[in-house]
Amino acid sequence: MRALSVNVGEVSWTGHTEAIGDGFAAIASTVPSGRAAHPEEIAAAIVFPGSDMASYVSGAVIAVDGGHIAVAGVYQSLAKEPA
C-alpha cells in the first residue's frame, strides 16, 4: 500500500485570477518561483502517484508550491532532532 499526498500552492486559472485581480498578482509574487502554478502543472503532480513511475514511492508529500515550503524551512525543521 502506498500513501502519498500532494501539497498544492497558488494556482492560476481563468475566472479565479480575473475575479481576484491585483490581489492575486500580489499573492503570486510572494511565491519563490515568482508566479502561480498552471493547472496542468498541478495535474501532472496528482497523476504521478498513480503511475508506474511512482511504484516505489510511499509516505511522501509532493510539494507543488513553487518553493514555498522549501524557503519557509518546514522540511529543514523536520530534519532537526528534537531538543
List CB contacts of 9: < 8 A, sequence separation 6 or more: 31, 36, 37, 63, 64, 65, 66, 68
Residue range 21-51, pLDDT digits in tens = 777 888 888 888 888 899 999 999 999 988 9
Residues in the chain: 83
pTM summary value: 0.69
Least confidently predicted of 15-19, 26-30, 48-52, 60-64: 15-19
